[in-house]
Amino acid sequence: MKNLLGNSVKELEIVALNYGQAAFRGRQIYNWIYNYRNKNKNIDQIEVLPLDFRKKLKEDGFKISELSLQEKNLAIDGTLKLLLSTSDNESIECVGIPTEKRLTACLSSQVGCPMDCKFCATGKDGLKRSLKASEILDQILFIENEMNRKVTNIVFMGMGEPLLNIDELLLSIRSINEDFQISQRKVTVSTVAVPRMIRKLSEKSFQILGKCQFTLAISLHASNQKIRETIIPSAKNYQIKNIIRDSKQFVRDTGRRVSFEYLMLRGVNDQAEHANELSNLLRGFQCHVNLIQYNQIDEVEFRRVSLKNLQLFQSTLTNNGITVSLRKSRGLDKNAACGQLRQNARNK
């Protein structure tokens, strides 16, 4: 299958030339694909192209979108969650999170996930496969189409472990930056942390993108190794002290601060002693902590921390000199946590 999505202007000009068309026909394809106002992303709709050219592209297997819409849920706060079907009948999720000034697309990088974090529904069925760059980018098109707005920010916080699909991840970031015209500084890559892959991420970013300006967000969720292993089984392969060591190296290599995601779980990692322990772990380098309210799901036993305790934890970190923010959960009335919509569809 030949997907036009993710190709540069030059590459699409070559496609046009190969079919005996003028190079500007490639530019027309490019401009049509990345204009969010153009709906129903298929070759038939590119009416500025000659009909014969469109027919030949279709006959030869060219496509723009490989995904199809399976289900959508709109929450009271405007958060839109989409369940999309792949060409091999797998399901993936993406989320559009709107505010007045921006639209953030939360994207999946894999079908399922191999990390099996105990608080997450995505890993319950394990990993099926990684997504191609075109499938990652297609999620943006669906969000823009359904919400009739241009996506302004990207977070790789959906299904899957992005660092286990690093080449396709970086190819998609290249297109997000150059084709969707979204600055790397508005892209966040969230990872549970995989041994040796943080260094590889920065190295490959300079090779493929020429720069590394996106934000690396590490799902730490614990202040010590023991707690982390109880909620993230894969943590036994990557000591928390080594994650911090590699994060410091990432900052030195890229000049970009690292964010640490900390999901607050009642009675697990939410005590004052944990806040002080986390402070000692992170003190002394360029980083930031995102405290997250747990988006509760039926499949697991974890529970949300009260807002009062959340704010107390936050103030302890602040008093200890750690930069911290509180990230509000979105879409709580529509099963917006990772993997929930897919899991519900599978259980029907």
Q: Model confidence over 302-315: pLDDT tens digits? A: 889 988 999 999 99
Tell me if 136 sits within 8 A of 168, measured CB to CB.
Answer: yes
Mean pLDDT of the chain, nearest integer: 92
For the chain, what's the residue count? Answer: 348
Percent of residues, the chain, with pLDDT higher than 90: 83
Output the pLDDT for position 337.
Answer: 54
Name the DSSP class of 104.
E
Tens of pLDDT, residues 126-153: 999 999 999 999 999 999 999 999 999 9
Given a contact cutoff of 8 angstroms between Cβ atoms, the answer to whether 165 and 201 are in contact is no
Which residues in 28-108 belong to E strands, given as ranges? 62-63, 68-74, 80-85, 91-98, 103-106
Contact 190, 156 (CB under 8 A): yes
Handedness of CA 136, 142, 147, 148 (dihedral sign): positive
Residue 38 exposed, middle or buried by CB count within 10 Å (0-12, 13-18, 19+): middle
Cα angle 188, 190, 195 (rounded to 5 degrees) comes to: 130
Residue 309's CB is within 10 A of a number of other CB atoms, namely 15
pLDDT of residue 339: 56
Domains and CATH numbers, the chain: 2-63 (1.10.150.530), 68-347 (3.20.20.70)
Q: Give the catalytic positions in this structure.
A: 93, 338
pLDDT in tens, 322-347: 999 998 766 655 555 565 565 555 55
Distance, CA of 262 to CA of 270 (rounded, Å): 10
Q: Which of 48-57, 101-110, 162-171, 331-340 has the lowest mean pLDDT?
A: 331-340
| Neighbouring C-beta atoms of residue 247, cutoff 10 Å | 23
Count the Cβ atoms, other than its own, within 10 Å of residue 136. 31
Of the candidates 97, 119, 93, which has an alpha carbon nearest to the alpha carbon of residue 108?
93
How far is it, in rounded angstroms, from Cα 66 to Cα 85?
Answer: 9
Q: What is the tens place of the pLDDT at every residue in 201-259?
A: 999 999 999 999 999 999 999 999 999 999 999 999 999 999 999 999 999 999 999 99
Q: What is the DSSP string of 291-304?
A: EEE----TTS---P
Instruction: Evaluate if residue 1 carries a pLDDT over 70.
Output: no
- What is the reported pLDDT for 124? 78
Q: Which residue has the higher pLDDT, 150 or 118?
A: 150
How far, CA to CA in Å, does 333 sit from each of 68, 297, 341?
24, 11, 12
Instruction: Return the percentage of the chain with pLDDT > 70, whole number.
Output: 93
